[in-house]
């Protein structure tokens, strides 16, 4: 008998969600080997897809007239003061800023972008609001006509019908002729955009520690 994590469906107040709980599982060696082989097959498929994605992404980055836009929402930045009273620290006065990060790869170079907003929306409309200035700058400085968008696959942000509708309209209004949409394999969504977000957060925190205040998203934008 050994404990293992298992997903469990829970219904509460009319809503259904799942979470992991640790349960003691008993069985025979035959059951264990069968379960192991099933999970090994799934792992092999998962690993193959991930390796294939990495290889194709590397090839796209070296293409002369194509760009790869790897994007992600970073965690909201909580605005800070150098000296905070207790009511501000624990109360609801602290404002937040949405940080959306992109790494744009073109032939021979890469460029990092971070867009800041006082809107806390992370839906498909917010995605294209953050992408607009990035695409405008990339397309104005290069002869790019094909763009490959890459991200992880959360349903509320990137992988939904509204986002696909906007993807079929917004890029072409800016001169893009061809595009593809790619989602990273499960558990492999971390990448350069997360590093960009971490750099923004560390830089802003260091700025506050030096005696300055970031009271609102506009202050964060001005600092950057």
Looking at residue 149, its pLDDT comes to: 93
The structural domain count of the chain equals: 2
Looking at residue 142, its pLDDT comes to: 78
Q: Which residues contact 141 (CB under 8 A, 6 or more apart)?
A: none
93 and 173, same structural domain? Answer: yes
49 and 103, same structural domain? Answer: no
> How far apart, in whole angstroms, are the C-alpha atoms of residue 221 and residue 111?
18
CB 77 within 8 A of CB 96: yes
Looking at residue 71, its pLDDT comes to: 94
Q: Which residues contact 205 (CB under 8 A, 6 or more apart)?
A: 80
CA 198 vs CA 121, 193, 211: distances in Å: 20, 9, 21
> How far apart, in whole angstroms, are the C-alpha atoms of residue 187 and residue 177?
31
Looking at residue 56, its pLDDT comes to: 79
Looking at residue 39, its pLDDT comes to: 86
116 and 46, same structural domain? Answer: no
What domain range includes position 148? 62-223
Looking at residue 14, its pLDDT comes to: 66
Phi first, then psi: what are they for 112, rounded to 5°?
Answer: -95, 140
Looking at residue 91, its pLDDT comes to: 63
> How far apart, in whole angstroms, are the C-alpha atoms of residue 148 and residue 70?
8
Chain centroid, CA 117 distance in Å: 16
Q: Please give the chain's pLDDT, 224 residues, in tens.
A: 456 666 666 666 666 666 677 777 788 888 888 888 888 888 888 888 888 877 877 777 766 678 899 999 999 999 988 887 776 766 677 899 999 999 998 877 889 999 999 999 999 999 999 999 999 998 887 778 889 999 988 888 998 999 999 999 999 988 899 999 988 877 777 889 999 999 999 999 999 999 999 999 999 999 98
> How far apart, in whole angstroms, are the C-alpha atoms of residue 69 and residue 105?
7
Looking at residue 204, its pLDDT comes to: 95
136 and 164, same structural domain? Answer: yes
> How far apart, in whole angstroms, are the C-alpha atoms of residue 168 and residue 160?
13
Looking at residue 101, its pLDDT comes to: 96
* Pair type for strands 96-106 and 109-117: antiparallel
pTM as predicted: 0.73
Looking at residue 165, its pLDDT comes to: 92
Looking at residue 206, its pLDDT comes to: 95
Q: Which residue from 31, 46, 39, 45 is spatially nearest to 1, judged by alpha carbons?
A: 31
CB 68 within 8 A of CB 193: no
Q: Which residues contact 100 (CB under 8 A, 6 or more apart)?
A: 71, 72, 73, 74, 114, 115, 117, 126, 127, 130, 131
Q: Residue 102's beta-bridge partner residues?
A: 71, 113
27 and 122, same structural domain? Answer: no
94 and 48, same structural domain? Answer: no
Q: Could you tell me the sign of the dihedral formed by the alpha carbons of 50, 183, 139, 111, in that order?
A: negative
66 and 41, same structural domain? Answer: no
161 and 138, same structural domain? Answer: yes
């Amino acid at each position: 008998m050994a404990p293992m994590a298992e997903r469990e469906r829970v219904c509460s107040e009319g809503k259904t969600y799942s979470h992991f709980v640790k349960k003691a599982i008993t069985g025979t060696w035959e059951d264990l080997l069968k379960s192991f082989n099933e999970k090994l097959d799934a792992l092999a498929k998962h690993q193959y897809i991930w390796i294939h994605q990495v290889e194709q992404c590397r090839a796209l980055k070296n293409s002369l007239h194509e760009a790869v836009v790897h994007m992600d929402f970073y965690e909201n930045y909580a605005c800070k003061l150098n000296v905070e009273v207790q009511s501000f620290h624990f109360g609801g006065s602290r404002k937040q800023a949405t940080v959306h990060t992109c790494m744009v790869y073109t032939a021979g170079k890469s460029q990092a972008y971070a867009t800041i907003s006082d809107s806390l929306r992370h839906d498909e409309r917010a995605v294209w609001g953050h992408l607009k200035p990035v695409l405008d700058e990339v397309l104005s400085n290069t002869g790019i006509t094909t763009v490959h968008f890459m991200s992880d696959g959360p349903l509320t942000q990137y992988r939904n019908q509204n986002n696909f509708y906007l993807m079929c309209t917004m890029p072409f209004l800016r001169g893009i002729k061809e595009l593809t949409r790619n989602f990273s394999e499960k558990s492999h969504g971390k990448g350069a955009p997360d590093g960009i977000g971490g750099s923004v957060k560390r830089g802003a925190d260091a700025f506050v520690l030096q005696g300055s205040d970031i009271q609102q998203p506009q202050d964060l934008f001005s600092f950057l």
